[in-house]
Amino acid sequence: MEVLQLLVSGLANGCVYGLIALGFVLIYKATEAVNFAQGDFMMLGAFVTLGLTNAEYMDLPFWIAAPLAISIMAVLGYLLDFFILRHLFGQSQTAVVILTIALGFVLRFVAGLIWGHEPQTLESPLALGDVQFGGVVLGMADVAVIVVTFLLTWSLYQFFQRTKLGLAMQAASQNQMAAYFMGIPVRRVQGLIWGLAGATAAVAGILFASKGAIDPNAGLLGIKAFAAAVIGGFGSLPGALAGGLIVGVIEPFAARYLAAGYSQIAPYALLLAVLIFRPHGLFSQVRVKKV
């Protein structure tokens, strides 16, 4: 029973990592850039929802506030691309990496300025009550996280495989010049993908905030989501989710069965092991370029 309990709580945590990792993968899939600020996007999404819902701020009903927050984050993502990232078009990936790290710093600072540095809790209807399945006690929030994550991953996967826009996004990343020839508005497509990543981050943020308190440094969770995305193989949506679940499940088990100092290491040790033995993740899509 204990194993099952650990497994389920690990899955719920893993889904949050998976959701952030989805954001990484979305942007990587469409622009070949990595958004190191995705964790901070999530933090911002959570705080925007909190600002709209909680009694001491706007006091809107949750079911109005949540879609509103998601659309605010989507617009913010698009604007970020429009005003900042679009100007890096054609520059090296390292420039984008450093830019997004800096962006993370700025977002953390801004969130701290607006909402303060104390941990706060979201007044979320998801946070109430527990469900019992046999001997396993599940928080409502955990169930919601797992369900929403799987739905979101499935629909994003379908979006990329089946819709015209999704295919255009993939084409834009695979070969920008060829995509231009095919009449794809590459820049606008990249802006849309940043908006989509912002929306995904907002969903992750709402779910994360329903599970516990948040503060401006919550975005550092993004590093674990990184591990998830890499383990799954950057560029694969189901891979990101799988990686998130693996990291999420390993954590409670390591904390339970390993000695104190070693348990925090476990996700990163796994990350390094994956990088060494399968450098492009478990769901690899890369072949070595021959000279």
Partner 1 sequence: MRIHFKTTYEQDIRLFPDLWTACVYGALILLAFALPYLINEFYVGEVTNVLIWAIAGLGLMLLTGQTGQASLGHAAFLAIGCYTNTILIEQGLPFIIAFPLAGVITGVVGAIIAIPALRLHGIYLAIATIALSILADDIIVLLEPWTGGVSGKFPEMISIFGFEIERWTMPTRFYYLVLVVTIICTLFYRNLLRSPLGRAFAAVRDSEVSATAMGVHIARTKATAFGLSCMITGWAGALMGYYAGTFNNETFSIVISITLLMMIVIGGLGSIHGAFFGAVVVAFLPQGLSILKDGLIGGGVAIPGLETGVFGMILILFILFEPMGIYGRWLKIRIWFELFPFARKDMFRRQKSYLKTERLR
Written as six digits, the tokens of 278 are 């399968």
State yes or no: residue 95 binds partner 1 (CB under 8 A).
yes
State yes or no: residue 34 binds partner 1 (CB under 8 A).
yes
Choose among 42, 102, 96: nearest CA to 73.
42
**Alpha carbons 270 and 56: distance in angstroms, whole number:** 42
Q: What is the pattern of x (binds partner 1, CB under 8 A) and - over residues 14-33?
A: -----------------xx-
**Alpha carbons 241 and 15: distance in angstroms, whole number:** 7
Binding residues among 225-254 for partner 1 as defined by CB under 8 A: 226-227, 230, 234-235
According to CB under 8 A, which one of 4, 58, 64, 93 is a site residue for partner 1?
93
| Cα maximum dimension of the chain | 62
Residue 144 or 271 with smaller CB distance to partner 1: 271
State yes or no: residue 162 binds partner 1 (CB under 8 A).
no
State yes or no: residue 175 binds partner 1 (CB under 8 A).
yes
State yes or no: residue 97 binds partner 1 (CB under 8 A).
yes
State yes or no: residue 285 binds partner 1 (CB under 8 A).
yes
Helix (H, G, I), strand (E, B) or coil at 261: helix
One-character DSSP codes across 181-243: HTT--HHHHHHHHHHHHHHHHHHHHHHHHHHS-B-GGGGGGHHHHHHHHHHH-TT-HHHHHHH
Q: How far is the CB of 94 from partner 1 (least distance, A)?
A: 5
Written as six digits, the tokens of 164 are 């015209």
- Contacting residues toward partner 1, per CB under 8 A: 31-32, 34, 84, 87-91, 93-95, 97-99, 101-106, 108-110, 112-113, 117, 173-177, 216, 223, 226-227, 230, 234-235, 261-262, 264-265, 268-269, 271-272, 275-276, 279-280, 285-287, 289, 291
